[in-house]
Amino acid sequence: QVQLQESGPGPVKPSQTLSLTCTVSGGSISSGSYYWSWIRQPAGKGLEWIGRIYPSGSTNYNLSLKSRVTISVDTSKNQFSLKVSSVTAADTAVYYCARSYYDFWSGYDYFDCWGQGTLVTVSS
């Protein structure tokens, strides 16, 4: 059973860079047919997809965040990471890492495994 766990340094000050890591256990991050995503949710609000990475390093980003976001993968550590630069209070949210199962021929592309989420607060 694959499990995902987010980790990060804690509160972030405005204008600084938010950094989170997702550690994958119970399976290899290099397994085919899976993308690895970051999703966030401000308190009391809906879900916002941030971006995703394939084990090869290929990425897709939410266009509204693309200029500030970098997602990377470290297959040797079975981890992938998120960096969001120049943060403001609007970036305060619960951040989830998630795995999506993808199959071009069947059209499957859905999040089948989620981390528990980690609250990141941006405050001076």
Partner 1 sequence: QSVLTQPPSASGTPGQRVTISCSGSSSNIASNTVNWYQQLPGTAPKVLIYSNSQRPSGVPDRFSGSKSGTSASLAISGLQSEDEADYYCAAWDDSLNGQVFGTGTKVTVL
Select 89 or 110, whichever has its Cβ closest to partner 1: 110
Beta bridge partners of 3: 25
Q: Is 47 an interacting residue with respect to partner 1 (CB under 8 A)?
A: yes
Give the residue, chosen from 19, 62, 70, 85, that forms a contact with partner 1 under the rule CB under 8 A. 62
Give the residue, chosen from 22, 71, 96, 120, that forms a contact with partner 1 under the rule CB under 8 A. 96
The C-alpha atoms of residue 34 and residue 94 are separated, in whole angstroms, by 23
Element spanning 51, H or E: strand 48-53
Q: Is 40 an interacting residue with respect to partner 1 (CB under 8 A)?
A: no
Q: Is 28 an interacting residue with respect to partner 1 (CB under 8 A)?
A: no
C-beta of residue 124 within 8 angstroms of C-beta of residue 13:
yes
Give the residue, chosen from 2, 27, 111, 119, that forms a contact with partner 1 under the rule CB under 8 A. 111
Tokens encoding 31: 């397994």
